[in-house]
Amino acid sequence: MSNKAYLELNNIDQMFGTYQALKNVSLNIKEGEFVCFLGPSGCGKTSLLRIIAGLDTPTSGSILQAGKDITYAPVNHRDFGIVFQSYALFPNLTVADNIAYGLVSKKFSANDRRVRVTELLATVGMSGSEGRYPAQLSGGQQQRVALARALATSPGLLLLDEPLSALDARVRAHLRQEIKQLQEKLGVTTIMVTHDQEEALTMADQIVVMNQGVIEQIGTPQDVYAKPNTPFVAEFVGEMNFLSAEVSGVGVMQSAGLTLRCDQSSHLTIGDPAQLAIRPEDVRFQTEGEEDNKMNAKVLHLEFLGSRMRALLELENHERPILADISMNEMAELNLIQGQSVVCQLPHDRLHVFGGKA
């Protein structure tokens, strides 16, 4: 993976009438990188992908691919392969003809097309399927053929628009792994649009979290999860508990009668409203010898999640209950039951602090 930007998006705006779908979006993607555009429906991620593909034109801004300005280049002059959510295979063409479709216009000979199709089917684990038709394939197989077709012309850029969302959970998890391994092997710069945080966390080198037409955060999956920049990112990527608070001193917050110490409040001044956020897995129960941020709570509900138990806790004097995830090993020691009173702790180094009201 080289360090120079392979794809540069500069100040992209997109208007549909009076509605602004994208607001001043700038982004650099390195060669060989796997980038996920992650966000809820209507956040602008598909609009951005369509602009990169040339299916839509930005209202303002520019796009450079490998140093070349492609902002207004027609689709057939762009170097990319695309896979859609709906597979979009031609039902009347065989697997081989579907895959070779883009090679015909590139003037590949019939023999070269045959060789390339055989090679691609082996790459996506479907050797010997040349003569079958899309209707004879499962959803997962159709998506592999769509992937092979997108890769047929060896594009510099692979665009994936929610490619796994129509598949069932097991097939999705399996294909997720395969696409990531294939992308690493081929070294093709890849952009995937998804609303599925787990997909983004497991596949991406970089995640671009989008909300209402703007980029909220760009970072590695670890960074976006562990150091969210905004309450939106904190809530959208993984589970997060929020408590309303007010700054009462340096590194000290008041939240409904509780005094909580936290490490990250230097950007706020005394009296400022704040939101404290903590992941369910960071709530602790084994608190011997720890003095900070302990509180009484009541177990309202317990939910079994396989490898862990999720507890809904009512904190003393707090209206909004919080979630706590407890490993089954710890659960065996704690032996929690519904209705039980417990002491829990919100470790100061695990509290995220955001300015403003919840």
Which SS3 state, helix, strand or coil, does residue 231 take? helix
pLDDT in tens, 96-109: 999 999 898 888 99
CA distance 81 to 159: 6
Whole domain around residue 47: which residue ranges? Answer: 5-234
Q: Supply the CATH number for residue 338's domain.
A: 2.40.50.100
Q: Are residues 180 and 297 in the same domain?
A: no
Helix ranges, the chain (H) = 45-53, 95-105, 110-123, 139-151, 169-186, 197-203, 221-226, 231-236, 328-334
Q: Are residues 284 and 227 in the same domain?
A: no
pLDDT at residue 318 in the model: 87
Tally of structural domains, the chain: 2
pTM comes to 0.91
Q: Supply the CATH number for residue 111's domain.
A: 3.40.50.300
Q: Are residues 90 and 217 in the same domain?
A: yes
343, 287 Cβ separation under 8 angstroms:
yes
Q: Is the per-residue pLDDT at 2 higher than 70?
A: no
Q: Are residues 54 and 139 in the same domain?
A: yes
pLDDT in tens, 267-281: 788 889 999 999 999
Q: Is the per-residue pLDDT at 88 higher than 90?
A: no
Which SS3 state, helix, strand or coil, does residue 51 take? helix
Residue with tokens 């903590």, as numbered in its chain: 278
Final residue in a domain of this structure, among 179, 204, 234: 234
Q: Is the per-residue pLDDT at 294 higher than 60?
A: yes
pLDDT in tens, 90-140: 999 999 999 999 898 888 999 999 999 999 999 999 999 999 999 999 999
- pLDDT (average), residues 151-174: 92
Final residue in a domain of this structure, among 174, 209, 234: 234
Final residue in a domain of this structure, among 187, 202, 234: 234
